[in-house]
Amino acid sequence: MRSILLIYICLIAASPVLAQTIAITNAKVYPVSAPPITNGTVIIRDGVIVAVGDHVTVPAGTQTIDATGKIVTPGLINSLTEVGVVEIGQVRETNDASAKGTNNVAAAFRVWDGLNPASTVFAPTRQEGVTTVIVTPRGGLVSGQAAAIDLGVGHVADVMRRAPVAMIAQIRSASAAGTNARGELIGKLRTLLDDVKFYAAHRPDYDRAATRSLSAPNTELEALIPVLEGKLPLIIEADSMAEIDAALALVRDYKLQLIISGGAEAWMTADRLAVARVPVLAGAMNNIPENFSSLNQRQENAALLRRAGVKVALVGNGDGDENRFNARNIKYEAGNAVAYGMSYDDALRAVTLTPAELFGLSDRIGSLQAGREANLVVWSGDPFEFSTQVEHVFIRGREVKEPSRQDMLIERYKPKPVR
Amino acid sequence: MNLIIRVVVCACLLLAFATQQLPQTPQQREPGAGTSQAAASPAPSPGPGGTSLPNADPFPSTYKPFPRRTTVIRNATIMTAAGPTIPNGSVLMRDGKIAAVGASVDAPADALVIDGTGKYVTPGLIDVHSHIGDYPAPGVDANSDGNEATSPVTANVWAEHSVWPQDPQIPRALAGGLTTMQILPGSANLIGGRSVVVKLVPSRTVQGMKFPGAKYGLKMACGENPKRVYQTRGPSTRMGNVAGYRAAWIQAEAYRRKWDAWNATHKGDAPTRDLGLETLAEVLRGNILVHNHCYRADEMAQMIDIAKEFGYKIRAFHHAVESYKIAELLKANDIGSAEWADWGGFKMEANDAVKANLAITEAFGARAMIHSDSALGAQRLNQEVAKAMYAGRAAGIPITEEQALRWLTINPAWALGLDDKIGSLEVGKNADVVLWSGNPFSVYSKAEKVWIDGAMLFDRTDSTQKWRTDFELGNVKENN
């Protein structure tokens, strides 16, 4: 009897959102999928948004957050992170973003299999308004498969949103791909893609060892089949105009759902990207000719791509660990994008609905509308401004308030008021 | 007539500097390029290089201010870093100096008048921790000149001998409102070598950028970097690091005594000159300021004791992510703390980084300042400080904009020993001035115009005057 009661209590504790209704009222609401609402209300029930608008009736007795003068947006999505797979960059044993693979191909590598949901990076990232991160592998020619993670609290199963959401590859470093020249790298990638097609068509022969030799083991080829079927996006890291054009040539020859990542010089080939309907993950905080592939890197890149009609998701491209410790700073990438020519609405979309669309999440998150999961943030003011504080973060309808390790350190060491 | 004289001058320069042709663009016809009078002299005579003299200056600055005119900025919000913000004020720049600043300022009739309505004016920003020039863009091995990682103590190297004045990162940092920076050797070594303080001006030579009269700095580094770089030959531990510093200072003190004695009497044969020990002896004499890369609170406390053991002062800790744990110790020893706003987590010793670090350091009365260690961060130190200021407020530490501005200006000026010349808008100081499009602590604001010694060196509204380095010609598109 006693144990049954205990189990019942545990069930309640495990589903705190059950039959819970929360209303956020009097806010300026940015649904992103629709124009901003000046004096809006958002109602969340059982983890899901059930109403958004300016004429929404709040049921009597509902727990209400009066957000007068505040702003409500979807939770931000950072499309390029290693949150949960790299804890401390230079501590090797906390690095799980880069697989060994075979001959620089690690397509079968599922980065989320090594995810640490207890990472201390979760809380500070969430506290600054990011509710979902794309966790990406890196390195080699084909790095592996990425996952969408909600920055909630719990086990891997509790924070997983969707996986895989993309396959990652790179063509900006010949040596990292195990080759000596860019042309050799592209050739290696093409051979691999051809072998995937061949393998998919000759599985029985392969199993009988009756095929020609293939450039990668069957586990890697198998993992790439959804990419060749156009079902799983292929993110190719490329920077120079020539590299991006080479990636676009792949789209002509293979049925790929290509996304360019980095794209330092993407603005120089924006029209081609627009025609090919290839989106770009780009930053807005780097204008340095850091290497011979990024000579024309500029902060207006994202704005110019949007102007040409290219879909853009903003990602960090500075050098302050924006994919790890400072994945929280994606809002400032958006603010800087606005300072360098992007429209405000485009910048907000580039950190919410656009990444949700790119990674197949937009039917669940990325906008505020009835039926979407309640990943949302209440801000004291403009989300992109330094002066703004995050006041409430909801993930799947639950307000998450867990402090960060940094909060605890500040609390321990900050000057105490004299009594 | 004028033209003929110029041709003759240029010819002399060509003799002295065969590889340096005529200036390529009007902007690059910098007034101070070239070499010192002594080096240009054709007479073969023994130089001063045989002896070790205090305050020797073998690579003297040839910087000369750029052409300038009397300029007054009116109707702007003036943040002086020396007092309260002036809401609707003016700044007058004349002869390269701040001539007047206040709510109402008289300007001569021929002054260039700039309307600052809706805009903000601050002193030029100062970065005490840069590797621009030593690690230039593009970041290829051939240009990687920031770490002489061949020995744990390389007090003999000077950062200026690695500086590439054509680094495209220099004009980009200027466009962020930066007017002065200290370029340091990297942190591979316990003692990395001498720093150099430069102005962000176009120049064909590093001598043409050097801040006249600025003291040299000495780069030291604690913790993980030296023990990682030298793990096979040592030091490979933190205790090995400390033994290494102490051994170097023991040698330096003996060297200083020997040379001070000889310089006083000139009796007998001069001692043998040693470049590394000479630099360390200059620290012991108080002529060179120590800039110490040190993350952890406990290591900073140990470095303070080492400094006391050998009788030198640490001017500032850099990358001091744990200053918030020992801020009262920094205050008691009058040591500055140069910090990032929010970098952390990239190595074990950076794991306790908190965004309120600058605010807590300030709250304990220690001298806090921002620094970049990054050619990107150097372009938006104002944004970095904004993050740190608001993080302090969120932690219950009410940092004012006036305080936060000091992290960008007068406090780093102090760390460089230049707070009598730069770092605030006060009459008589150098006219290093930034006009911002809006509040500098907003993400949307940009440096619109930047003056160094009263000369306008950057104007965002006039693309024809854009400074493009040699490297950029033909490599980087003009509209970029």
Residue A118 has pLDDT above 80, yes or no: yes
Nearest to B360 among A121, A384, A414 (CB): A414
pLDDT at B12 over 90: no
Structure tokens at A195: 């072998």
Is the bond preceding residue B138 a cis peptide, omega within 30 degrees? yes
Residue where the block lists tokens 């904009």: B401
A336: contact with B, CB 8 A cutoff: yes
| pTM of the predicted protein model | 0.93
Residues in B closer than 8 angstroms to A321, CB to CB, are 343-346
What is the distance between the alpha carbons of residues B191 and A175, in angstroms, rounded to a whole number? Answer: 34
pLDDT at residue A248, rounded to an integer: 98
Least Cα distance to B135 among B108, B105, B103, B168 occurs for B168
Chain B residues whose beta carbon lies within 8 Å of the beta carbon of residue A175:
none
Architecture of domain A76-365: Alpha-Beta Barrel (3.20)
Superfamily of domain covering A2-73+377-411: Urease, subunit C, domain 1 (2.30.40.10)
Nearest neighbour of B444 by CB, restricted to A88, A268, A339: A339
Chain B residue with Cα closest to A318:
B376
A89 and chain B: CB distance < 8 Å anywhere?
A: yes
Cross-strand partners of B149: none
Mutation for B interface: A81, A86, A90, most B CBs within 10 A: A90
CA-nearest of A175, A192, A99 to A137 is A99
Residue B8 pLDDT > 50: no
Q: What is the pLDDT of residue A417?
A: 73
Count of beta carbons in the 10 Å neighbourhood of residue A11: 10
Size of interface A-B (CB pairs under 8 A): 133
Q: Is A90 helix (H, G, I), strand (E, B) or coil?
A: coil
Q: What is the pLDDT of residues B69-85, one digit of tens each?
A: 999 999 999 999 999 99
Residues A373-390: tens digit of each pLDDT: 999 999 999 999 999 999
Minimal Cβ distance to B443: which of A291, A318, A339: A339
Q: Which residues pair with A282 in a beta bridge?
A: A314
Q: What is the pLDDT of residue A15?
A: 45
Indicate the residue of A288, A339, A384 with minimum beta-carbon distance to B137: A288
pLDDT tens digit string along B51-64? Answer: 899 999 999 999 99
CATH among 2.60.120.700, 3.20.20.140, 3.40.50.1010, 3.20.20.70 for B124-423 = 3.20.20.140
- Placement of tokens 């990032």 in the chain: B340
Shortest distance between the Cα of A298 and any Cα of chain B, in A, equals: 6
Boundaries of every domain in chain A: 2-73+377-411, 76-365
Residue boundaries of the structural domains of chain B: 124-423
Q: Quote the Cα angle for A338-A344-A345, to 5°.
A: 145
Q: What is the pLDDT of residue A19?
A: 61
Q: Once rounded to an integer, what is the mean pLDDT over residues A284-302?
A: 98
Please give, one letter per residue, the 3-state secondary structure of chain B: CHHHHHHHHHHHHHHHCCCCCCCCCHHHCCCCCCCCHHHHCCCCCCCHHHCCCCCCCCCCCCCCCCCCCCEEEEEEEECCCCCCCEEEEEEEEECCEEEEEECCCCCCCCCEEEECCCCEEEECEEEEEECCCCCCCCCCHHHCCCCCCCCCECCCCEHHHHCCCCCCHHHHHHCCCEEEEEECCCCCCCEEEECEEEECCCCCCCCCCECCCCCEEEEEECCHHHHHHCCCCCCCCHHHHHHHHHHHHHHHHHHHHHHHHHHHHCCCCCCCCCHHHHHHHHHHCCCEEEEEECCCHHHHHHHHHHHHHHCCCEEEEECCCCHHHCHHHHHHCCCEEEECCCCCCCCHHHCCCCCCHHHHHHHCCCCEEECCCCCCHHHHHHHHHHHHHHHHHHCCCCCCHHHHHHHHCHHHHHHCCCCCCCCCCCCCCECCEEEECCCCCCCCCCEEEEEECCEEEEECCCHHHCCCCHHHCCCCCCCC
Q: In what order do the strands lie in the sheet with A130-135?
A: A76-81, A130-135, A142-150, A160-170, A234-238, A258-262, A280-282, A312-314
Output the average pLDDT for chain A. Answer: 95
ipTM at complex level? 0.94
The CA R_g of chain B, rounded to the nearest whole Å, is 23
Whether B33 shows a pLDDT value over 70: the answer reads no
Nearest to B443 among A89, A336, A406 (CB): A336
pLDDT confidence band for B31 (50 / 70 / 90): low
Is residue A283 a contact partner of residue B340, using CB atoms and an 8 Å limit?
no
Residue indicated by tokens 């204008």:
A287
B117 burial level (CB within 10 Å; 0-12, 13-18, 19+): exposed
Residue B241, pLDDT above cutoff 80: yes
- Chain B nearest-CA distance from A404, in A, is 10
Q: How far apart are the first and last CA of chain A?
A: 52
Is any Cβ of chain B less than 8 angstroms from the Cβ of A380? no
CA-to-CA distance for A69 and A73, rounded, in angstroms?
Answer: 13
pLDDT band at A212 (very low <50, low <70, confident <90, very high): very high
pLDDT category, B16, cuts 50, 70, 90? very low
Q: In what order do the strands lie in the sheet with B314-318?
A: B191-194, B216-221, B288-293, B314-318, B336-339, B368-370
Instruction: Check residue B48 and give its pLDDT.
Output: 81
